Every structure is written in C-alpha cells, then in structure tokens.
Amino acid sequence: MIDFDAARADTPGAASTVFLDSAGASLLPNPVLDEVFGHLRREAEVGGYRAQEERAEDLRQGYSTFARLLGAQPNEVAFTDSATRSWLSLVDAVPLGTGDEVLISEVEYGANAVALLRLAERTGATIRLVASDETGQLSLDALRAALSERVKLVSLVHMPTNSGLVNPVREVVDAAHEVGALVLLDACQSVGQLPVRVDELGVDLLSGTGRKWLRGPRGTGFLVVREAVADQLVPRLIDHSAAPWVSRDRYQLRDDARRHELWEYGVAERLGLIRAAEYAAALGIEAIAKEVDARARFLRDGLAELPGVRLRDLGRQHSGIVTFTVDGLGPDQVRDALRAAGITLTVSPGTSTLIDMTARGLSAVVRASPHYFVGFDELTTFLAAVGALPRS
Ligand SMILES: Cc1ncc(COP(=O)(O)O)c(C=O)c1O
C-alpha cells in the first residue's frame, strides 16, 4: 500500500491545486526535482562534461533501472527526448516497401498517424485500419482478418490519450507474430500507471515518456527494442554515438537499442527520469495501479450520477484516464471553469485520435487523470465543482 501522506509531502504542487492531469504532464516529486536542480547547479559549477562524468555510473545504471521496470534487458533500452521521438525512431527503422502493410487501430495517436502517412508516401507501404469491437477496444477478430504475410508492423496504443481504454496487448502480439509481423506498443500512457513488461506482453518494440505517469521531467522519453529484432531495425539517420566512426569511410553501428540514441541530451533531465523510475519502483507499480484504478472508478461512478454529464470512455478494461463532456458547455469552458475553482485538468482535442473521435462525433473531451497522490476528498471537490457548473 502507498503511504498517501508521504506521497503528498513529496509532491509540493499538490498543495495548491486539485491535480487531475497526470495523462498530460504530472507533478514532479521532490526527489526528482532535487536531482534535476542539483545536476543543473553542478553543471554551473564545473561545466556540463565534468558534471556528467561524475554521474557516469548513475547514468549507466539508468538502463538497468528501466530494464527492470519494463521487463527488458539493459541493452534493449534507449533514452530519447519524448515518446514521439522514440516512436518515430522505431517506426522509421522498420524495413518497409511497396506492398507491405502496417496495421493501426481506431485510437491511433495523432503524431503516430501523421508519421505513418508520411512513411507510406515515402516507402509505398499501405496503412490499414483495424476496426474496434462493440466495446471500443481493438477487435481481435478484425485483427486476425487483416493479418497476412504482407503485414510487417502492427502499431498498438496501449492506453489511448482520450478514451479511458486499455487495449489487449498479449492477444494482439500472439496474432501478429503468427504472420511474422512486429508489434510496436505505444506505452506512453501506461508506463508508470500499470505494470508494463515486454517479457510478459511479448511486444517487440515499445515507446514511452517520462513526464506523465512516471512523474519525470518534460523532454524525456525511452524505448525498448527486443534483442531478437534489434538487427532488423536500422535507423535512417545515426550519429557517432549510435555508430562510432571507426575509420575515414566506415562507421560501426551499435548492435543494441542505443543505436536509436544521439550523443547529446539533457543530463539533468535524464537523471531526473531515472530517479522518477526508481521512485515509482520503490512505491511498487502494482500498488500504484491499484490506487489509480480506485480513483478513476470513483470519478466514473461520481460523474455518471451527475445530470447532463456524459462519460466518454471506451473499452472493457479502463485506465486512469477519465473522459467526459457536459451538455451545454464546451470542453474548454469546463476546463476553464474548473481551473478557476482550483482544479487542474486538460481538454483532449479530436485531432489526438482523429479516427475514433470523428466516428463518435466528438470534437474534444475533458480529461481527468488522477494519480495516487490525489486524495478522495479532492475527487469529491472535483465532482461537486462539475455538478455546480453553470449551464446555458
Ligand atoms: C497515447 C499517446 N501516445 C503518444 C503520445 C506522445 O507523447 P510525447 O508528447 O511524449 O511525444 C501521447 C501524448 O499525449 C499519448 O497520449
């Protein structure tokens, strides 16, 4: 069980707002803040290179920390500056050509979808949509019908950005592997919220971010490339860290996931990200998942009872992302009125998951995403504030 008072004491931001935006960018805990500020201060004292050398072992250990968190080996982990950077680097390295197919689901994230459209233009590969089932999660029947030896990649969003859904991963992986397709899991919203282990889920590739449920700094991301497929994925553009320059006309591409990294990065942010992962692991991801689930259920039950409030969540299994609209008020108006009442949450626009939101006739939804450091009394305050919104 998580010590709620200790979690609050570690979260300075929680004192000034009811914080319901961990799906956007969560509140950093003190140990992460101290790590980032401490390293920046050290850089100012001795210069960035020496400061980095002093933390070389901690930076190296970061790969093991993430490997433990994600059920991977340290050589299967790489760090980037965002989930999208991770996703782009991975997808761009998948060998694709005319006649090849990439499958996506109806809740594909906007950045991924646009990248795939461009990739299809460039490579001649075709993107095919796998329909959702009646609950809104990816339809396994539709997936099986779409799979053939032409499919080289299945892109699966674990938890979409704005529909409260958790997609089934293991079943998708098993079906995709039967035809030899790779599975790329967008775990941007799930790592730090749920146990996400590539060894159990069987995914080949994974992308994630630091700033959301892991409570790390902005500008941080990570990826996993399973050892068995690392060779197949050659990034198009590499630097002398991904591929050391060994003689005038030759480079030697790294044989691990770090072929997806660049030499330069924000060391303070990286250290903060590693600290955030250690912090989450010390609390226990299972314990975090329980706390998030209890809060999301409380919100869904409470919102369902409010007249004129419509829950917009999909799926059989629900995540910590609770989405809704209020009759007679635009999502932006709801967000602004709640912000004036001391509540922080965000609006997720239709363009974030264009296919799904268009099909449901939604231009945007209000998104409330409570982490374990939010109290149930605060959730009650939030529900009362939604109930009291002035309607036209
Ligand atoms: C499901 C999903 N995938 C990918 C992303 C992109 O993450 P980033 O902004 O770190 O690139 C987001 C961001 O909200 C997301 O919700």
> What is the model's pLDDT at position 391?
77
- Does one domain contain both 66 and 193? yes
In a domain, 257, yes or no: yes
Domain boundary among 260, 283, 306: 283
Q: What is the pLDDT of residues 159-192, one digit of tens each?
A: 999 999 999 999 999 999 999 999 999 999 999 9
Domain boundary among 256, 283, 310: 283
- Does one domain contain both 326 and 203? no
How many domains is the chain partitioned into structurally? 2
- Select from 107, 166, 209 the residue to mutate for testing ligand 1; criterion: most ligand atoms less than 8 Å from CB: 209
CA 130 to the chain's CA centroid: 21
Residue whose Cα lies nearest atom 8 of ligand 1: it is 83
* Cβ(276)–Cβ(222) below 8 Å: no
Q: Is the CB of residue 96 below 6 angstroms from any atom belonging to ligand 1? A: no
Q: What is the pLDDT of residues 295-319, one digit of tens each?
A: 999 999 999 999 999 999 999 999 9
In a domain, 353, yes or no: yes
Nearest CA to 188 among 155, 161, 224? 161
Nearest CA to 312 among 303, 70, 127? 303
Nearest CA to 371 among 50, 106, 60, 7? 7
- Does one domain contain both 207 and 311? no
Q: Is the CB of residue 107 below 6 angstroms from any atom belonging to ligand 1? A: no
DSSP code for 194: B
In a domain, 126, yes or no: yes
CA 13 to the chain's CA centroid: 22
Domain boundary among 283, 313, 330: 283
Q: Which two tokens stand for residue 336?
A: 């602004």
- 360 burial (CB, 10 Å; 0-12 / 13-18 / 19+) is middle
- Does one domain contain both 226 and 316? no
- Does one domain contain both 340 and 206? no
> What is the model's pLDDT at position 392?
66
Atom number in ligand 1 closest to CA 86: 11
**Over 80: is that where the pLDDT of 147 sits?**
yes
Q: Is the CB of residue 83 below 6 angstroms from any atom belonging to ligand 1? A: yes
Q: What is the pLDDT of residues 15-34, one digit of tens each?
A: 999 999 999 999 999 999 99
DSSP code for 329: B
In a domain, 51, yes or no: yes
- Does one domain contain both 267 and 359? no
Give CA–CA dist 390/187, Å, rounded: 37
Question: What is the distance in A from the centroid of ligand 1 to the CA of 221?
Answer: 10
* Cβ(97)–Cβ(274) below 8 Å: no
Find all residues with CB under 8 Å of 20, minimum gap 6, and list them. 343, 344, 345, 368, 369, 370, 374, 382
In a domain, 151, yes or no: yes
**How many CA atoms, within 13 angstroms, populate the side-chain half-sphere of residue 23?**
26
State how far the alpha carbon of 302 is from the alpha carbons of 2, 240, 333, 386, 391, in Å: 23, 54, 20, 10, 19
Question: What is the distance in A from the centroid of ligand 1 to the CA of 49?
Answer: 31
Amino acid sitting at position 36: V
- Does one domain contain both 319 and 225? no
In a domain, 392, yes or no: no
* Cβ(36)–Cβ(272) below 8 Å: yes
Question: What is the distance in A from the centroid of ligand 1 to the CA of 271?
Answer: 21
- Does one domain contain both 213 and 113? yes
Report the CATH number that the domain containing residue 366 is assigned in CATH: 3.90.1150.10
- Does one domain contain both 70 and 185? yes
Q: Which two tokens stand for residue 97?
A: 């050509």
In a domain, 161, yes or no: yes
Mean pLDDT in residue range 47-67: 98
Nearest CA to 358 among 163, 166, 182? 163
Question: What is the distance in A from the centroid of ligand 1 to the CA of 139?
Answer: 22
- Does one domain contain both 351 and 340? yes
- Does one domain contain both 257 and 356? no
The domain in which residue 353 lies consists of 4-29+284-387
Q: Which two tokens stand for residue 56?
A: 């070389």
In a domain, 288, yes or no: yes
Report the CATH number that the domain containing residue 62 is assigned in CATH: 3.40.640.10
- Select from 86, 104, 109, 345 the residue to mutate for testing ligand 1; criterion: most ligand atoms less than 8 Å from CB: 109
Q: What is the pLDDT of residues 254-278, one digit of tens each?
A: 999 999 999 999 999 999 999 999 9
